[in-house]
């Protein structure tokens, strides 16, 4: 059976103040993909997600999201940004934050419906954070907050979930459980995960792309030292002890 293509980028270029950030990007994302995107800081990973969302206009190339423009297609996308800034003293509960994800569904000045509440309950259960529904968001740990932000994205009932460094504020022992939740979610939607955590995501994702302005795409999660060196533009050493680990050799900046 032919897999449904949900995102297509063809020869996409993007610049910030005439400085190239993305160069000639070609990428297709399909309905059951769990794609990890890795690469150095400043390599364009966040920009790529914003291009898909229609928040950054490419200077050249075409972007199709669910067969439409990114602006029309993004209503079918859930997005968790790299930095979720908020006042930790603001008296918003976990429930309040998750329900905010339904604002685009119900329209302005309309009360939340039973469908909205059911969607929020399901999202909280999915992310295993339901017991904290009445707790103030600012009182949670970094890992718990990140689950709440993913739940807020899930209440939009997305067909594509974009996650930008979702484990940056999560302690290492808790990351495995978080990735296992994502593996269950991929049965319902495509997932694109941006991360620096090469060794961990290589265990959980199905495909990996290396991005450093140019895209080095792999149709599987197998990575070669040569491919990583091309993306990171420095020597890379690969070491395996049961599961693959990848580190950068010492090199000149």
**What was the pLDDT predicted at 228?**
57
How does pLDDT run across 143-160, given as a tens digit for each residue?
888 889 999 999 999 999
Which residue would you say has higher pLDDT here, 196 or 233? 196
% of the chain beyond a pLDDT of 90: 47
pLDDT on residue 76 = 94
Give the mean pLDDT of 94-120: 85
If you average pLDDT over residues 114-134, what whole number do you get?
A: 93
State the average pLDDT for the chain.
Answer: 83
- Angle, helix 142-154 to helix 114-126, in steps of 10 degrees: 140
Integer Cα distance of 39 and 47 in angstroms: 12
Higher pLDDT, 211 or 218: 211
User: What is the per-residue pLDDT for 175?
Assistant: 78
Residue 179 has pLDDT above 50, yes or no: yes
Q: Do 193 and 205 touch, CB atoms closer than 8 A?
A: yes
- How sure is the predictor about 204, in pLDDT bands with cuts at 50, 70 and 90? confident
pLDDT at 221: 57
| pLDDT at 119 exceeding the cut of 50 | yes
pLDDT at res. 55: 96
> Strand 190-194 relative to strand 34-38: parallel, antiparallel, unpaired?
parallel
Q: Is pLDDT above 80 for 163?
A: yes
Q: Look at residue 83 and tell me whether its pLDDT is greater than 70.
A: no
pLDDT of residue 107: 61
pLDDT of 132 reads: 95
pLDDT single digits (tens) 91-102: 889 999 999 998
- Distance, in Å, from the CA atom of 4 to the CA atom of 65, rounded to the nearest integer, reads 12
Per-residue pLDDT, 129: 92
pLDDT at 229: 57
Residue-wise pLDDT tens digits, 213-228: 999 876 655 555 555 5
Instruction: Please spell the DSSP secondary structure of 8-51, one letter per residue.
Output: EEEEEEEEETTEEEEEEEEEEEETT-EEEEE--TTSSHHHHHHH
Domain 5-215: which CATH number of 3.40.50.300, 3.30.70.20, 3.40.1190.20, 1.10.10.60: 3.40.50.300
Q: Indicate whether 50 pLDDT > 60.
A: yes
Type and span of the H or E element at 240 = strand 236-241
Unique residue bearing structure tokens 């067909």: 159
Alpha-carbon dihedral angle through residues 176, 177, 178, 184, given to the nearest 10 degrees: 110
């Amino acid at each position: 059976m032919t897999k449904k293509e949900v995102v297509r980028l063809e020869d996409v270029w993007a610049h910030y103040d005439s400085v190239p950030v993305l160069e000639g990007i070609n990428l297709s994302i399909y309905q059951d993909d769990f794609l990890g995107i890795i690469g150095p800081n400043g390599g364009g990973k966040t920009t790529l997600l914003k291009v898909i969302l229609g928040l950054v206009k490419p200077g050249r190339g075409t972007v199709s999201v669910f067969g439409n423009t990114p602006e029309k297609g993004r209503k079918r996308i859930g997005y968790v940004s790299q930095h979720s800034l908020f006042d930790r003293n603001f008296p918003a509960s976990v429930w309040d934050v998750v329900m905010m994800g339904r604002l685009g569904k119900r329209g302005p000045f309309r009360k939340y419906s039973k469908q909205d509440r059911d969607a929020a309950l399901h999202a909280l259960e999915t992310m295993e954070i339901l017991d904290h529904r009445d707790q103030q968001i600012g009182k949670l740990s970094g890992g718990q907050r990140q689950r709440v932000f993913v739940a807020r994205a899930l209440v939009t009932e997305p067909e594509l979930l974009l996650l930008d460094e979702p484990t940056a504020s999560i302690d290492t022992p808790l990351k495995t459980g978080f990735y296992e939740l994502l593996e269950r979610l991929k049965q319902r939607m495509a997932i694109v995960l941006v991360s620096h955590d090469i060794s961990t995501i290589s265990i959980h994702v199905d495909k990996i792309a290396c991005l450093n302005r140019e895209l080095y795409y792999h149709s599987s999660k197998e990575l070669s030292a040569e491919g990583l060196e091309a993306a990171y533009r420095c020597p890379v050493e690969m070491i395996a002890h049961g599961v693959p680990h990848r580190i950068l050799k010492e090199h000149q900046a």
